[in-house]
């Protein structure tokens, strides 16, 4: 998968951006606050996912812009496709999406169509942040590999929110516990699917991360990933015991119903799962050095890109935002070797941050204008 042409107007500070990137390596160079990150955000917009820098959709529109328009032409390995996203100031609805000329498409349609792997300094939160960051990582990565999986994840979140709303009413004595259990069967079914999705993904991700981390440390340190869920089960999407897991999940919800009613929310379930990371048997989150945490964040993203390429038989578009200055020559070499067959966009303040000579297409960004 690679972008053939991209244009952006009115997206944050971007002005008249229109360019044809290289199929492999693209360097976007410019001082801070010139729009380099905004360009990667505009590309990420095409995935239909929430902004990976945490920018809210209402802030996409530039201060003085009446609208924004971002268009992407890309090859998915079989044919050329086109995505158009627009938003008008004062527009009550969210952004409008057009795919191959067909308007009013939903963000989920983009997610099934265009895939990116993004790495930024904020990815350190995958290690140091709360478990919801790691759950989101597992869900996004796994859904990229399984068509239709994102609907199951969304449905599980909706059912959980509905159950919690009912528990709030129970807390206020406005609803009985019996009425709450009406959600449990549907929630258990979707939640077990999500657990299977995460478990299967981590099963494939773990050895790859271990190998990449071993390269960084020269084999002196061992990184182990494991998926911790409330059923203490390892499972896959093809597991014949799915019905049993659903029953166990329902049983777990029933056993904690009385306590859930007292606190007003669901205490057990997929919303409490976590991705455990250990180096030489010790928790990276608790005991890892800053250098170890940065290295683990790097290999998580590299493994994500590699696994996508391996399973989908095509490459994601890779976005590296202001990370090269954080990587020494050894880590940069590992990065290049892992993503050498992929289309990559790297933002830099100065080309000297690159410690290896790589053939690349060079662009400059100044005050929201891209040249090159």
Q: Mean pLDDT, 10 residues at a time, over the chain (372 residues)?
A: 94 92 94 92 90 73 83 93 88 79 81 91 92 95 92 95 90 74 91 96 96 93 95 87 94 93 93 96 94 93 94 93 86 89 92 82 93 87
CB-based contacts of 90-99 (< 8 A; 24+ apart in sequence):
94/57, 95/57, 95/60, 97/48
| Residue 181: predicted pLDDT | 84
Q: Across the chain, how many H-helices and E-strands are there?
A: 12, 14
Query: How remote is the C-alpha of 20 from its chain's centroid?
Result: 25
**Token duo for residue 86:** 């627009």
| Residue 92: predicted pLDDT | 58
Helix (H, G, I), strand (E, B) or coil at 59: helix
* Per-residue exposure over 164-183, b if at least 16 CB sit within 10 Å of its own CB, e if not: bebbeebeeeebeeeebbeb
C-alpha separations of 228 from 135, 196, 208, 276 in Å:
10, 12, 19, 7
Each residue's pLDDT tens digit, 175-217 = 666 778 888 999 999 999 999 999 999 999 999 999 999 999 9
Q: Which helix H or strand E contains 70, and what residues bound it?
A: strand 67-75
Q: Is the dihedral of CA 305, 308, 310, 312 positive or negative?
A: negative
Each residue's pLDDT tens digit, 289-308 = 999 999 999 999 999 999 99
Q: Which CATH class is domain 1-115+316-372?
A: alpha beta
Domain ranges of the chain: 1-115+316-372
Contact in structure between 318 and 345 (CB atoms under 8 Å): yes
73: buried, middle or exposed (CB in 10 Å: 19+, 13-18, 0-12)? Answer: middle
| Residue 267: predicted pLDDT | 95
Helix (H, G, I), strand (E, B) or coil at 4: strand
Tell the residue number behind the tokens 């976005």, with chain if given: 319
| C-alpha–C-alpha distance, residues 255 and 252, integer Å | 5
CA dihedral 119, 120, 121, 127 (to 10 degrees): -40
| Residue 178: predicted pLDDT | 73
| C-alpha–C-alpha distance, residues 213 and 298, integer Å | 9
| C-alpha–C-alpha distance, residues 319 and 313, integer Å | 19
Give me the DSSP letters along 296-333. Answer: HHHHHHHHHHHHHHHHHSSPPEEEEES-GGG--HHHHH
Helix (H, G, I), strand (E, B) or coil at 267: coil
| Residue 7: predicted pLDDT | 96
Contacts of 264 (CB under 8 A, 6+ apart): 164, 167, 168, 170, 171
| Residue 281: predicted pLDDT | 94
| Residue 93: predicted pLDDT | 58
- Alpha-helical runs (H) found in 77-148: 107-113, 125-128, 131-145
């Amino acid at each position: 998968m690679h972008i053939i042409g991209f244009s952006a107007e009115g997206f944050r500070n971007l002005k008249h951006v229109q360019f044809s990137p290289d199929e492999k390596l693209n360097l976007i160079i410019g001082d801070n606050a010139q729009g380099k990150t905004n360009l990667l955000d505009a590309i990420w917009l095409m995935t239909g996912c929430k902004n990976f820098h945490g920018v809210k959709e209402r802030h996409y529109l530039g201060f003085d812009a009446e609208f924004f328009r971002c268009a992407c032409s890309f090859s998915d390995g079989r044919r050329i496709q086109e995505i158009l996203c627009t938003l008008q100031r004062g527009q009550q609805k969210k952004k409008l999406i057009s795919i191959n000329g067909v308007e009013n498409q939903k963000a989920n349609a983009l997610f099934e169509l265009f895939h990116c792997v993004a790495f930024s300094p904020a990815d350190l939160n995958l290690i140091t942040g709360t478990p919801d960051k790691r759950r989101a990582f597992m869900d996004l990565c796994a859904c990229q590999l399984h068509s239709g999986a994102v609907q199951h994840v969304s449905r599980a979140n909706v059912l959980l929110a509905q159950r919690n709303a009912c528990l709030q009413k129970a807390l206020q004595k406005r609803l009985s516990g019996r009425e709450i259990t009406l959600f449990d069967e549907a929630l258990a079914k979707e939640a077990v699917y999500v657990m299977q999705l995460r478990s299967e993904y981590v099963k494939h991700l773990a050895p790859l991360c271990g190998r990449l981390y071993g390269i960084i440390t020269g084999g002196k340190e061992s990184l182990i990933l494991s998926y911790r869920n409330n059923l203490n089960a390892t499972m896959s999407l093809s597991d014949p015991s799915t019905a049993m897991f659903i029953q166990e999940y329902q049983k777990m919800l029933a056993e904690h119903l009385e306590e859930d009613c007292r606190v007003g929310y669901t205490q057990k379930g997929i919303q409490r799962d976590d991705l455990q990371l250990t180096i030489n048997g010790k928790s990276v989150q608790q005991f890892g050095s800053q250098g170890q945490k940065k290295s683990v964040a790097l290999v998580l993203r590299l493994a994500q890109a590699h696994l996508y390429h391996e399973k989908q038989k095509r490459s994601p578009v890779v976005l590296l935002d202001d990370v090269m200055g954080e990587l020494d020559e050894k880590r940069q070499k590992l990065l290049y070797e892992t993503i050498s067959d992929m289309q990559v966009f790297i933002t830099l303040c100065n080309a000297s941050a690159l410690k290896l000579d790589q053939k690349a297409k060079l662009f400059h960004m100044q005050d929201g204008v891209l040249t090159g």
